[in-house]
């Protein structure tokens, strides 16, 4: 074996056997070779790397199903504004000043933050995706990278066709970087894409056999403008134009009627719940209990660092589990176990990796995180599943393993120079934020 975790608590991600109090996990060639309890009869175990898991807990790495990673550059900028003002009057003008190299460094900072807080995969929508892909390749993280078929020229509002760039990006990066990169299509929203371009995008996704990432019904304004312009909701528009014929990750989904939910269910759309961003921008609260009740796949995303203002999935799980209890006056909705499932196996399913990652199980990709449970705020660990959602902090993640490779051990990143990256991003922010 390459790596052996011994005497460690295990959160498996298996609903039938969610917790092994103490056991072993073996990793070989990037795959989980076995998972066992200390009570099982085992031969003598040897490995190149042995990690003693005393007072530690291993679990599936967290999967962030909606973010704009390079937006770390705009962290703590343009706060306390509604989405439309925040986006059009503040974010878009700054993004117009960004260079490709800036996106690389902003993405590297976001990846560093995610690895250090337990995220092993993210689904991204942003600019200059070649630069994002380079950052993913060198950092060792797993990612679903979406690229837009159009570019909006902010000077004259002219739409530039970049379909050729999509095809080239797919050719160069899909299943690249040790198969850690998945390519999808970015359809930003129905308010930035015309009906014609929604139809063209659906055709491109079908032709390449890829999924789509899209913002859907995030605000009341978005919903009202769609009904005024088209006479239907954005989801109905996506249905009519063929967008939902591809595997879709629909971010936000705050304002949904019963028909919208029926569409999501019928078309097997995965919803990326972004509680912090929706709260911070005053957008609202997505009807997550209703989606779960209908059997719709709900995952969790952080959104970008400009609207969150971090990429910490443990914080996002915590808020997702608490928010709906208070809103619905029901402590039973979005349980700790459901929140963990949303952040792991549901995220894998949203990205087309169901059965490949998202659980600690023989044959799965070794995308794992180890949490140091020997801390005052985690003592005593009466219920490990609840502790992960209600007590654990992102900073409690001690070791991160992706594709069988240790990318962080004892809180030290092995693939990213933290100080260099932070220094570059500080310089970029000084230049572009005015």
CATH code, domain carrying 44: 2.30.40.10
Q: Tell how many helices (H) and how many strands (E) occur in the chain.
A: 17, 19
Closest alpha carbon to 123 in 173, 82, 64, 170? 64
Q: What range defines the domain where residue 328 resides?
A: 62-350
Q: Residues 157-205: pLDDT tens digits?
A: 689 999 999 999 999 999 999 999 999 999 999 999 999 999 999 999 9
Is 422 inside any structural domain? no
Is 324 inside any structural domain? yes
Is 426 inside any structural domain? no
DSSP character string of 198-232: HHHHHHHHHHHT--EEEEES-SHHHHHHHHHHHSS
Which residue among 350, 368, 391 closes a domain? 350
Whether residue 32 is found in the same domain as residue 117: no
Q: Residues 123-152: pLDDT tens digits?
A: 999 999 999 999 999 999 999 999 999 997
Q: Give me the percent of the chain exceeding a pLDDT of 90.
A: 94
Whether residue 264 is found in the same domain as residue 240: yes
- Domains held by the chain: number: 2
Which residue among 295, 323, 350 closes a domain? 350
Whether residue 12 is found in the same domain as residue 148: no
- Burial status of residue 338 (CB atoms within 10 A of its CB: 0-12, 13-18, 19 or more): buried
| pLDDT greater than 80 at residue 43 | no
Whether residue 27 is found in the same domain as residue 172: no
Q: Residues 341-386: pLDDT tens digits?
A: 999 999 999 999 999 999 999 999 999 999 999 999 999 999 999 9
Q: In a 3-state reduction of DSSP, which class is residue 271? A: strand
Is 431 inside any structural domain? no
Per-residue pLDDT at 434: 83
Per-residue pLDDT at 155: 56
* Residue 143 to residues 12, 15, 212, 349, Cα–Cα distance (Å): 22, 25, 14, 13
Q: In a 3-state reduction of DSSP, which class is residue 397? A: strand
* Residue 216 to residues 53, 175, 270, 276, Cα–Cα distance (Å): 42, 27, 11, 16
Per-residue pLDDT at 153: 63
Give the Cα separation of 318 and 61 in Å (integer): 16
Is 129 inside any structural domain? yes
Whether residue 124 is found in the same domain as residue 148: yes
282 with 44: CB under 8 angstroms?
A: no
């Amino acid at each position: 074996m390459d790596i052996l975790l011994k005497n460690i608590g295990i959160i498996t991600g298996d609903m039938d056997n969610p917790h092994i109090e103490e056991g072993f996990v073996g990793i070989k060639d990037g795959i989980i070779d076995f998972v066992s309890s200390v009570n099982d009869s085992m031969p003598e175990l040897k490995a190149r790397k042995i990690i003693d898991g005393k007072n530690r807990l291993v679990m599936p790495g967290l999967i962030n199903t909606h973010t704009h990673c390079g937006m770390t550059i705009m962290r703590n900028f343009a706060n306390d504004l509604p989405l439309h003002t925040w986006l059009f009057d503040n974010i878009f003008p700054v993004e117009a000043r960004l260079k490709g190299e800036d996106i690389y460094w902003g993405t590297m900072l976001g990846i560093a933050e995610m690895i250090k807080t337990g995220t092993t995969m993210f689904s991204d929508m942003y600019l200059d995706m070649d630069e994002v892909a380079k950052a993913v390749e060198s950092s060792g993280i797993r990612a679903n990278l979406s690229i837009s078929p159009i570019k909006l020229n902010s000077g004259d509002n002219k739409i530039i066709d970049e379909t050729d760039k999509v095809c080239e990006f797919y050719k160069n990066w899909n299943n690249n970087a040790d198969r850690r990169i998945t390519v999808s299509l970015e359809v930003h929203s129905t308010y930035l894409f015309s009906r014609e371009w929604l139809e063209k995008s659906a055709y491109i996704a079908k032709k390449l056999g890829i999924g789509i990432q899209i913002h859907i019904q995030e605000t009341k304004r978005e919903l009202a403008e769609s009904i005024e312009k088209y006479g239907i909701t954005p989801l109905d528009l996506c249905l009519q134009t063929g967008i939902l014929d591809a595997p879709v990750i629909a971010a936000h989904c705050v304002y949904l009627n019963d028909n919208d939910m029926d569409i999501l269910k019928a078309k097997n759309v995965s919803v990326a719940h972004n509680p912090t961003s929706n709260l911070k921008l005053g957008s609202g609260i997505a009807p997550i209990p209703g989606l779960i009740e209908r059997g719709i796949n709900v995952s969790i995303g952080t959104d970008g660092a400009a609207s969150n203002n971090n990429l910490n999935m443990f914080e996002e799980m915590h808020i997702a589990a608490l928010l709906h209890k208070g809103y619905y006056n029901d402590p039973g909705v979005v349980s700790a176990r459901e929140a963990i499932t949303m952040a792991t196996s549901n995220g894998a399913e949203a990205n087309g990796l169901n059965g490949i990652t998202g659980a600690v199980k023989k044959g799965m990709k070794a995308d794992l995180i180890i949490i140091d449970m020997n801390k005052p705020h985690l003592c005593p660990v009466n219920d490990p599943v609840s502790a992960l959602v209600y007590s654990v902090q992102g900073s409690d993640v001690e070791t991160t393993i992706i594709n069988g490779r240790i990318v962080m051990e004892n809180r030290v990143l092995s693939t990213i120079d933290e100080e260099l990256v932070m220094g570059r991003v500080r310089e970029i922010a000084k230049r572009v934020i005015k």
